[in-house]
Amino acid sequence: MITFPPDYLSVDDLTAAQLIGLLDLADELKAERASHHAEGTSAVRDDLAGRTVAMIFEKPSTRTRVSFQVAVTELGGDPLPLSSAELQLGRGETIGDTGAVLGRYVHAIVVRTFGQERIVALAQAADVPVVNALTDLEHPCQALADLQAFREAHGSFEGRTLTYVGDGNNVANSLLLAGAKVGLSVRVAHPEGYAPDTTVVARAEQLAADTGAQIVVTTDPVAAVAGADAVYADVWASMGQEGEAEERAALFAPFQVTSELMSHAADGAIFLHCLPAHREEEVTAEVIDGPTSRVFDQAENRLHVQKALLATLLRRDG
């Protein structure tokens, strides 16, 4: 079993060996689940039997909420989904107090929130594992699913390149760290003023110096995509940025992933997107619905990597 830190708040919490170990376990769990489904038998395990996992969502969610709830259930545990409106968080209780109390009731806490400082405060107060299900700074569980989808398509990370095109947001930040950790070169092409977090980029460059990966941040989408093994897009306006959508649409138009842009990638390149997608905005329907797209494999992998993560965090010998 993988030696693991107490929480998963950032991709940078894990070593390369821990990341690869999680992906290997996710592959095993995915194959096991597929085998059960083919046989018409139950995929439920007992890794989390008798365990309750609280899931706090301060932002809307489809894939994250459903995949975590199914993950806990299929590991034999009890998921407890909660919105901030259902908690005293909605009436001003601090997130630290919420974490301290929930930590006395449940065995782990999954949190989708706003600033990274909120999940750090909760984790410091809660004496149980805490998982980052998305903050404004990072989306580390998504990065695990992205790595699994990339490895399924290409078999390895070393000597390969993933290019992210669009807003340098939480997804881009986690991809930079994840790629640098495992030796996968990551390029981010963004409009002026929408670069990834500078601290994250500096940390990714530091990590890449040890793994041989290359980190490139540029405003030239064609140069960024040239020779890439995967091209990744995300919505131009994330949750909470809807008021900027019109302004962003004009700025981001040259960064739309089209068949023409994909033609600059390597032979066998795949298209990735964390979803939800807006066809004909950040990506054309021809690309996302075409033969190079792996977006639904990628979305499915959220379930498998999160099962691997929870099973490891709550392993009974720990």
33 is catalytic: no
11-138+300-313 has which CATH code?
3.40.50.1370
Whether 30 has a pLDDT exceeding 80, the answer reads yes
Contacts 24+ apart (CB under 8 A), 156-160: 157/182, 157/183, 157/184, 158/183, 158/184, 158/212, 160/184, 160/185, 160/229, 160/230
Q: In CATH terms, is domain 142-295 a member of 3.40.50.1370? A: yes
Exposure on the CB side of residue 80, measured as CA atoms within 13 A: 15
Indicate which residue of 63, 107, 112, 160 is catalytic. 112
Whether 318 has a pLDDT exceeding 50, the answer reads no
pLDDT digits (tens, 9 = 90+) for 55-93: 999 988 999 999 999 999 999 999 999 987 788 876 788
Pull the structure tokens for residue 14.
């894990």
Q: What is the pLDDT of residue 241?
A: 64
112 is catalytic: yes
Amino acid at 107: H
The closest alpha carbon to 232, from 183, 184, 182, belongs to 184
302 is catalytic: yes
Could you give the dihedral angle defined by the CA atoms of residues 299, 301, 304 and 310, in that order, rounded to the nearest 10 degrees? Answer: -70
**Residue 97 Cα distances to 89, 119, 121, 247, angstroms:** 9, 12, 9, 39
The percent of residues in the chain predicted with pLDDT above 70, rounded, is: 96
Domain with CATH 3.40.50.1370 in the chain: 11-138+300-313, 142-295
297 is catalytic: no
The Cβ of residue 221 has, within 10 Å, a number of other Cβ atoms equal to: 22
Three-state SS sequence of 18-46: HHHHHHHHHHHHHHHHHHHHHHCCCCCCC
Whether 178 has a pLDDT exceeding 70, the answer reads yes
Q: What is the pLDDT of residue 3?
A: 72
Q: What is the pLDDT of residue 245?
A: 73
Q: What is the pLDDT of residue 247?
A: 83
DSSP reduced 3-state for 111: strand
Point out the least confidently predicted range of 29-38, 137-146, 232-241: 232-241
Exposure on the CB side of residue 307, measured as CA atoms within 13 A: 28
Whether 316 has a pLDDT exceeding 90, the answer reads no
pLDDT mean over 161-175: 98
274 is catalytic: yes
Q: How many residues appear in the chain?
A: 318
> What residues have CB less than 8 Å from 215, skipping those under 6 apart?
176, 179, 180, 185, 186, 187, 201, 204, 205, 208
**Position 268 confidence tier, pLDDT thresholds 50, 70, 90:** very high
Whether 226 has a pLDDT exceeding 50, the answer reads yes
Exposure on the CB side of residue 103, measured as CA atoms within 13 A: 18
What is the rounded CA–CA span in Å between residue 54 and residue 254? 41
Q: What is the pLDDT of residue 2?
A: 57
Whether 148 has a pLDDT exceeding 50, the answer reads yes
* Cβ–Cβ < 8 Å for 175, 146: yes
pLDDT digits (tens, 9 = 90+) for 190-214: 999 999 999 999 999 999 999 999 9
Q: What share of the chain is helix, strand, coil (3-state, %, to 5)?
A: 50, 15, 35
* Cβ–Cβ < 8 Å for 238, 212: no
Kindly tell me the number of DSSP H helices and DSSP E strands found in the chain.
12, 9
Q: What is the pLDDT of residue 1?
A: 52
Q: What is the pLDDT of residue 91?
A: 74
Which regions of 25-172 does DSSP assign to beta strands (E)?
Answer: 52-57, 78-83, 108-112, 130-132, 161-165
Which regions of 203-296 does DSSP assign to beta strands (E)?
Answer: 215-218, 230-233, 270-273
Indicate which residue of 167, 234, 256, 294 is catalytic. 234
Could you give phi then psi for residue 83, rounded to 5 degrees? -105, 160
63 is catalytic: no
Indicate which residue of 51, 65, 142, 151 is catalytic. 142
pLDDT digits (tens, 9 = 90+) for 232-246: 999 997 766 666 777
Indicate which residue of 63, 302, 304, 306 is catalytic. 302
